[in-house]
Amino acid sequence: MPDTRSMRQGTNIFQRFGNTVRKFFSETVGELKRVSWPSRQEAIRLTEIVIAVIFLMALVLGGLDWVYAKIFGAILGG
C-alpha cells in the first residue's frame, strides 16, 4: 500500500485540488445514477401541491399581518 504522505509530496496544491474536485464530481454522478426519479405525472402533482401550500400560507400570513396591523394601529392611535 503506497504511503499517502509520499504521494502528497509529489503533487502540488493545484493537482490535489483538481483531484479533489474530480473525485467530488465522480461521486456525485454515481449518486445521481442511483436516485429513483419521480415520473413526470408524479412531479407535476407534487409541484401543484407545493404551489397550493405556498398560496395558502401566503393567505394565512397576509391575513395575520393585516389583523396585527389593525390591532397595533388601534393601540398606537394611528
pLDDT tens for the chain, residues 1 to 78? 555 665 556 678 888 998 999 999 999 999 999 999 999 999 999 999 999 999 999 999 999 999 999 999 999 986
Q: What pTM was estimated for this model as a whole?
A: 0.57
* Three-class SS state of 30: helix
pLDDT at 41: 97
pLDDT at 12: 86
Cα dihedral: 36, 40, 44, 47 (round 10): 30
- The whole-angstrom separation of Cα 15 and Cα 8 is 10
